[in-house]
């Protein structure tokens, strides 16, 4: 991959001759290198062709940056070569602070939600005109997430029984009918970087029209981090206060439905990445994600049958 460093030197001569160290980042087909020496403060990225949205990262970053959302600046983008040079947002994320006291973590989570609220307030029509949006969250996309969950986590043999027992189709329809905002799409602890007490959002290339509750649920029910019920409540209230969503029953209903939906999507992803993509590290998150989904299902009589099935699938999946 020396070509990418030669390219960096051509677009940023001051960084020529810098040292680059690979950075492991999630389950995508992207590769990252953090610069040091004369390349300090920079990150080089090469992305594959697996996901078309990766090519939208640079215009998405530009759009969010221009509107005051804290994201890394893209300093150069070679679309044909599928490579970018970006500002380094730091080596720590919210996940890195998971063992801190709630006094410390709560402040960082509050800052993350403030950036999210700023993103949610942006004009969807302007974003659409700027061609920075993926397909919107509509009934078909919610349905696809549910099928992803059934196919890669529950298993095909359980799908018909689960769909007959719980109102998955109704949830997809009801969520699709709610007012949409500009959403991040993968707003979890490893996509919020922390540097000098400030937070920066990354991995927003899948942003689209969707529900605020989906993003907030992605953070509050994140399987990578343990949050207590009290802490989740504080963060939910903080977001509601930032956005004028203090109609608690309506907001809570949206948040819980989105949390079920998001956790189904996450479990499908862990199954897909862990087995089909040969990345077994993702399997370790199945017990936490499945228990959180089961606990949410138990709160709603219509969804209670899924709780038992999810727990059984988790046990079978890891046996």
Sequence-ordered list of residues with C-beta below 8 angstroms from that of 111, at least 6 positions apart, any chain:
198, 199
Q: How far apart are CA 14 and CA 1, in angstroms?
A: 20
Write down the domain spans for the chain.
17-90, 93-318
**What pLDDT, on the 0 to 100 scale, is given for residue 282?**
94
Structure tokens at 18: 């810098």
Contact in structure between 286 and 293 (CB atoms under 8 Å) = no
Helix or strand or coil: residue 227? coil
Do the first three CATH levels of 17-90 and 93-318 match, i.e. the same topology? no
Cα 250 to the chain's mean position, in Å?
A: 23
Which residues are registered as beta bridge partners of 85?
A: 44, 76
- Specify whether domain 17-90 bears CATH 3.40.630.30: no
Nearest to 55 by CA among 88, 82, 28: 82
Structure tokens at 240: 């509601």
Classify the C-alpha dihedral 129-131-137-140 as positive or negative. Answer: positive
Structure tokens at 118: 């700023």
Composition of the chain by helix, strand, coil, percent to 5: 60, 15, 25
Sequence-ordered list of residues with C-beta below 8 angstroms from that of 11, at least 6 positions apart, any chain:
75, 76, 78, 85
Contact in structure between 236 and 117 (CB atoms under 8 Å) = no
Taking the domain 93-318, which CATH number applies? Answer: 3.90.1200.10
DSSP at 49: S
What are the backbone angles phi and psi of residue 44, rounded to the nearest 5°? -100, 140
Contact in structure between 168 and 146 (CB atoms under 8 Å) = yes
Q: How far apart are CA 34 and CA 8, in angstroms?
A: 12
Helix or strand or coil: residue 77? strand
The sheet with strand 19-23 has its strands ordered as 19-23, 30-36, 42-47, 83-87, 74-78
Helix or strand or coil: residue 76? strand
Nearest to 93 by CA among 5, 189, 203: 189
Q: How far apart are CA 254 and CA 211, in angstroms?
A: 8
What are the backbone angles phi and psi of residue 222, rounded to the nearest 5°? -50, 120
**319 residues of the chain, pLDDT tens digit each:** 689 999 999 999 999 999 999 997 665 789 999 999 999 999 999 999 888 899 999 999 999 999 999 999 999 999 999 999 999 999 999 999 999 999 999 999 999 999 999 999 999 999 999 999 999 999 999 999 999 999 999 988 888 899 999 999 999 999 999 999 999 999 999 999 999 999 999 999 999 999 999 999 999 999 999 999 999 999 999 999 999 998 889 999 999 999 999 999 999 999 999 999 999 999 999 999 999 999 999 999 999 999 999 999 999 888 7
Q: How many CB atoms lie within 10 A of CB 108?
A: 20
Classify the C-alpha dihedral 13-14-16-22 as positive or negative. Answer: negative
Contact in structure between 29 and 51 (CB atoms under 8 Å) = yes
pTM for this predicted structure = 0.95
For residue 101, with 0-12 CB atoms within 10 Å meaning exposed, 13-18 middle and 19 or more buried, which class applies? exposed
């Amino acid at each position: 991959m020396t070509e990418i460093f030669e390219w960096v030197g051509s677009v940023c001569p001051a960084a020529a001759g810098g040292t680059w160290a690979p950075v492991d980042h999630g389950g995508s087909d992207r590769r990252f290198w953090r610069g040091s020496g004369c390349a300090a403060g920079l990150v080089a990225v090469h992305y594959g062709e697996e996901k078309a949205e990766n090519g939208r990262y640079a215009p998405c970053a530009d759009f969010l940056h221009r509107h005051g959302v804290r994201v890394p600046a893209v300093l150069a983008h070679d679309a044909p070569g599928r490579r970018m040079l970006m500002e380094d947002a730091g080596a720590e994320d919210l996940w890195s602070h998971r063992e801190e006291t709630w006094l410390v973590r709560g402040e960082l989570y509050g800052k993350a939600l403030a950036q999210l609220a700023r993103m949610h307030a942006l004009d969807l029509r302007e974003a659409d005109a700027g061609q920075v949006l993926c397909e919107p969250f509509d009934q078909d996309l919610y349905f696809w997430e549910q099928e992803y969950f059934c196919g890669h986590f529950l298993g095909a043999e359980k799908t018909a029984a689960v769909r007959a027992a719980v109102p998955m189709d109704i949830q997809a329809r009801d969520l699709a009918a709610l007012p949409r905002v500009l959403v991040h799409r993968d707003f979890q602890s490893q996509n919020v970087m922390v540097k000098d007490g400030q937070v920066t959002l990354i991995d927003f290339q899948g942003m689209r029209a969707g529900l605020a509750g989906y993003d907030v649920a992605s953070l509050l029910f994140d399987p990578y981090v343990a949050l207590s019920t009290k802490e989740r409540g504080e963060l939910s209230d903080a977001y509601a206060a930032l956005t004028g969503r203090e109609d608690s029953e309506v907001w809570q209903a949206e948040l819980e439905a989105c949390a079920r939906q998001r956790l189904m999507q996450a479990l499908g992803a862990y199954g897909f990445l862990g087995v089909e993509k040969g990345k077994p590290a993702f399997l370790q998150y199945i017990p936490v994600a499945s228990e959180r989904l089961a606990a949410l299902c138990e709160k709603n009589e219509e969804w209670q049958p899924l709780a038992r099935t999810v727990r059984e699938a988790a046990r079978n999946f890891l046996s």
